[in-house]
């Protein structure tokens, strides 16, 4: 993949991830969290399924179970933990914990997939995590919500590796559509058990639902699965550090939340971390780079 296209798509999908935090927060004024996410993924999954009906469909019970498992880990557990943890901790703290998943991806890849990573990559992940913490003012606390957030981060890492392992056998759009429908079912079940489902309809809530469904669901997950399928999962996941940065910036723009010097310092550390994780040794050019140099 062209490196500029790769980076551009990563920036776009992490923007969709980050902006979903303030827009979702606006939506919580009109519906409880699990019910809102159920509506979001049901609409997104249904709309996308209309476009993939003529594409290659899952051929076995095993493939359908894989889709359900991916939907459970990728959408339901991650977002469910993120929202539920906010009963005890701040939304910023929840975002910090959820987006530490790149470190977990490298650990799990090393343990279960036999991948090896250079010291610079490990160090880059640590620097990125520090950058995310700095953005939110070094004010993390450890309590029940922290543990729930850690479960969400682990789930995100597991889902990343599952998509990398199973995704090649699916049409990515088909996988995306059906995993969101599966996730919506899980969310509605949870909502029925722990919430009083309701939705107040007006222009604002309609905008929130459409944005979350079209951009932060269809757009985000389609791009994310595509990038995981066509790139290294650890390197791709490294850009997840940008999601909370985009969340802070979009919260400032939409909710008028204040920006601090921590944002600039943390953003710089995030960029350094991403560079270290993706940095290639000078003596070994990638095949795509060699081809470009030869063409010139």
Stretches where the chain sits below pLDDT 70 are: 92, 136-142, 234, 279-296
| Predicted pLDDT at 291 | 35
| Predicted pLDDT at 40 | 93
Q: Give this prediction's pTM.
A: 0.77
Residue-wise over 183-204: b if at least 16 C-beta within 10 A, else e? bbbbbbebbeeeeeeeeeeeee
Chain position carrying tokens 């993924």 = 41
| Predicted pLDDT at 139 | 59
Nearest to 17 by CA among 211, 160, 257: 211
Q: Evaluate whether 216 touches 19 at the Cβ level (below 8 Å).
A: yes
For residue 289, the tally of other CB atoms under 10 A from its CB is: 12
Radius of gyration of the chain (CA): 19
Structure token digits, residue 109: 């890849």
| Predicted pLDDT at 77 | 94
22: number of CA atoms within 13 Å, CB side? 19
d(CA 280, CA 231): 14
């Amino acid at each position: 993949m062209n490196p500029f296209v790769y980076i551009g798509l990563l920036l776009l999908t992490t923007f969709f991830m980050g902006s979903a935090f303030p827009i979702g927060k606006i939506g919580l004024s009109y519906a409880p969290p699990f019910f809102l996410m159920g509506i979001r993924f049901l609409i997104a999954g249904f709309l996308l399924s209309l476009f993939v009906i003529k594409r290659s469909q899952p051929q076995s019970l095993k493939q359908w179970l894989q889709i359900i498992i991916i939907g459970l880990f990728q959408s339901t557990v991650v977002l469910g933990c993120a929202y539920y943890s906010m009963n005890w901790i701040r939304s910023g703290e929840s975002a910090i914990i959820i987006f530490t998943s790149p470190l977990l991806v490298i650990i799990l890849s090393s343990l279960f997939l036999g991948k090896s990573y250079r010291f610079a990559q490990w160090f880059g992940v640590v620097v990125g995590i520090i950058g995310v913490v700095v953005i939110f003012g070094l004010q993390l606390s450890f309590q029940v919500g922290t543990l729930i957030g850690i479960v969400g981060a682990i789930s995100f890492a597991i889902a990343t590796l599952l998509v990398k392992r199973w995704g090649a056998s699916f049409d990515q759009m088909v996988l995306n559509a059906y995993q969101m429908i599966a996730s919506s079912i899980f969310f509605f079940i949870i909502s029925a058990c722990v919430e009083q489902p309701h939705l107040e309809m007006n222009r604002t809530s309609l905008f929130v639902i459409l944005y979350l469904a079209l951009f932060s669901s269809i757009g985000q997950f389609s791009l994310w699965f595509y990038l995981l399928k066509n790139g290294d999962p650890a390197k791709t996941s490294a850009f997840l550090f940008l999601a909370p940065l985009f969340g802070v910036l979009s919260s400032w723009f939409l909710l008028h939340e204040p920006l601090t010097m921590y944002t600039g310092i943390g953003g710089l550390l995030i960029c350094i971390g991403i560079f270290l994780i993706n940095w290639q040794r000078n003596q070994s050019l990638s095949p795509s780079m060699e081809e470009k140099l030869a063409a010139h």
